[in-house]
Amino acid sequence: SRFETCWPALMKDSDGVIIIFNPELPSHLKEIEMWYSCFVQQQPLLDSQCLLVAHHKPGSAGDSENLSLAYPLNKLKLIHSNLEEDPEDVRMEFIKYFRSIINIINESREREEMSILS
């Protein structure tokens, strides 16, 4: 919260939001609701422009299957990252996410161009 004064500058013209959290910390699960509210809903960005990353530290239990997030976070794309076990999976998910963001940007640019022409 020390940096809240910087948030408008961070948010300005952003096309995507990636929220990385530690799923083993209950406080993080509360905080991601606040990040989602400020950085996605208030902008407003589409849910598809937000990616949640549950990052499991090396040696953590990493019970990734049982992480159930409450609404509205459960509408978002959620990936589990464990860089010890499958860094390649995480890399592929990031590439997919960035591709989807590029598509959204291109589509909105095309819409703007069409509205100028018409």
Distance in angstroms between the alpha carbons of the first and the last residue of the chain: 45
The domain total for the chain is 1
Which residues constitute the domain of residue 31? 4-117
- Residue ranges of the chain with pLDDT lower than 50? none
The answer to whether the predicted template modeling score (pTM) of the entire model surpasses 0.75 is yes
How far is 94 from 106, CA to CA, in rounded Å?
18
**For residue 77, what are the β-bridge partners?**
51
CATH number, residue 12: 3.40.50
Q: Which of 72, 79, 88, 25 is nearest to 52 (CA)?
A: 79
What's residue 70's pLDDT? 87
For 11, the enclosing helix (H) or strand (E) is helix 7-11
What's residue 102's pLDDT? 96
What's the pLDDT tens digit per position in 24-58?
888 888 899 999 999 999 888 999 999 999 998 87
User: Scanning the structure block, which residue is given the tokens 């022409």?
Assistant: 117
